[in-house]
Chains A and B, each alone.
Chain A
Amino acid sequence: MGYDMTMEISALNEIFVEFYYWITVPLMFLIHVGFCLYEVSISRAKNHMHTLMKNAMLIPMVTITMFLFGFWIYFAGQGPFGDFAGGTTGLPWDATMGSNFGDHIMGVFWAAFLLFSWTAASIVSGAVIERIRTGAFLILAVLVGSVTWMIDAAWGWSAGGWMVTDWGYHDAYASGVIHGICGGAALGILTVLGPRIGKFAPDGTPRDIPPQNPWLAVIGLFIIYTGFWGFYAACNVPIIEFDGLWTATTIYGTPTTLSTITFNFLMSLAGGLMAGYYMSKGDSFWTFSGGLGGIIAASAGNDLYHPLQAFLIGIVGVWVAYKLHYWVERKFKIDDAVGAVAVHGYAGSFGVIICGFMLWGYPALADGSATITPWGQIGGAIIMFFVLGFIPTYIVAKILNAMGILRIPKEVELAGLDYMDNQASAADGQKIINAELAERNASSSL
C-alpha cells in the first residue's frame, strides 16, 4: 500500500496553522491585562476599583455579543451596504460555531477576532475613565467591539471587502481598522461626555491630572507591547503556497515574511519611543505611549516597509499624534484621560494615509485586481475614524445622555466612584478592630 506523504504534509500544515492561531490568543490576552493595569494606574485612588470593573466587564459583554452576531457581521457585511454575502456563517446556530468534527478552526479564528474586539472596546474605555457610568460604557463597548469594528473589518480587512476590492485599501496590521476607528469612537463619546471636574481652569486652560501610579501605568504599556506580538501574528496567515513559493501572507492574501514584520514591529517601536521621549521631554507616560503610537503608525504597511522606513514613520506618527492631542485638548476642551484618541486615532489614521503614499501602486490583492493609492487610503482613514468611529458612538452617547444615564452624578464624581465600597470596608474594618479589642480585654481580665 502506498504511503500518502502529500496528505500527511497537508495535515501537518493544517495542525500547525490551527496551533499558530491558538497561541496568538493567550498572547493577545496580555493586551487586556496591560490595558487594565494601565487604566487603573492612570485613575485616581478614589476610582480604582470601578475603573477596573468597568474594563473587566466589557469582556463578557463583548464576548457574548461577538458570539451572537459580531462574527456573523464580518462574513455577512463584505459589501458596502451589507449584502449578507456570508449566509449563515458565523451565526450562533451554524455548525462551525460549536463543537463539531466538521470544522476544527472556526473557534480559534473567532477567538482571534474576539481578542481584537476586547482591545477595541478597551481603547475606548481608557479615554472615558472617572466619569462615565459602567452601564452606559458597556452598551458603547458592545457597539464598538461587536458591531462597528466588525463592519470595518468586513469592509477593509478582508480580501473580499469592498474597500479592498474597489479602493485598494491596505491596512495589514490594523492602523485604521482597529486603532483609527477606536480613536474616533473614543472622541465621539468624549465630545458628549465632557471633561472630568477640574480638568480645565475657568479660563479654559487645561490642567494635568497626574496618574495615581505612573510606573505601574508604564508596566501596563509594556505588557500591551508584549501582547501586540500576538496581535501581529494573528494578522498573518503563517504559511501558505503563493505562486509556487511557501510564505506567510497578510489577511488580504498578499505575501510578506515573518522577518519583515519582526524587523518593522521593533523598529517602529524604537522610533515611537524616541519621538515620545523627545516630544514630552522624558515624560514616562508619553514616552511609552509613543512606543505604542510608533507601532500603530507603521502598522498599515509593516508587511512591506523597510525597517528604517518603519522607524521614521513611527517617529513622524507620534509627532503628529502628540501635537494633535494638545491642540484638540486646548481648542475643543476634550479630556482624553489616557491619550487614547491620540495614540490610537491620530497615529492610526496617519498610518493609513502615509501607507497610501509609501505603497502607491502596489497590488492590494494577490491577483493584482486592486491597487494601493493615496486616495483609497485617505478615504479609508475617513471611513474608519469618522464614519464608523466617531459618528456611531457620538449618536449613541447623545441618546444615553438624553436619558440621563451617560455620566455619573457630580457628587459621586467628587467623592469618588469607590466611595460607598470604601465606606463599607472601613466600617467592616472598624467592627473587626472592636471585636479584637473586646477579645483582648476579656483575655486580660481573666
Chain B
Amino acid sequence: MSTGLESWTPVKEVAALSPFSGSEVLLTIIAVVLWIVFHIWQLKSENNAYDEQVSKQQ
C-alpha cells in the first residue's frame, strides 16, 4: 500500500514526488472554489462589520 512512491531507486525513473498523483485537476477545482468563497466571505463579513459600526455610532 502506498499513496505514491514505494522506492527511490532507480531515481531517474521517479517523476511525481507528491502523493495521490493524478488528482491535480480535482485539487485545482477545490482551490478555485475556496478562492471564490473567500472573496464572497470577505465582502459579506466586511459589510456586516461596517453596518454594525455605523449603527453603534448613531
* Chain A residues within CB distance 8 Å of chain B: 61, 64-65, 67-68, 92-93, 95, 98-102, 133-136, 138-139, 405, 408-409, 411-412, 415, 419-420
Contacts and interface: CB of A to CB of B under 8 A. Distances in A.
A139 B32 CA distance: 14
Contacts of B50: 133, 408-409, 412
A173 B12 CA distance: 38
Nearest to A415: B57
B31 A101 contact: no
A420 B53 contact: yes
Contacts of B43: 133, 135-136, 405
Nearest to A94: B24
B16 A92 contact: no
Nearest to A139: B39
Nearest to B44: A135
A68 B27 CA distance: 10
Mostly, the A contact residues are helix
A54 to B, nearest CB: 11
Mostly, the B contact residues are helix
Interface in B6-31: 11-12, 14-18, 24-25, 27-28, 31
Contacts of A139: 39
Contacts of A101: 11-12, 14-15, 17
A67 B28 CA distance: 9
Contacts of A65: 35
Nearest to B12: A101
A138 B15 CA distance: 36
Contacts of B57: 411, 415, 419
Contacts of B53: 409, 411-412, 415, 419-420
A95 B39 contact: no
B38 A98 contact: no
Given A99-B16, A99-B17, A133-B46, 9 more contacts: A92-B27, A95-B16, A100-B15, A101-B12, A135-B42, A135-B47, A405-B47, A415-B53, A420-B56
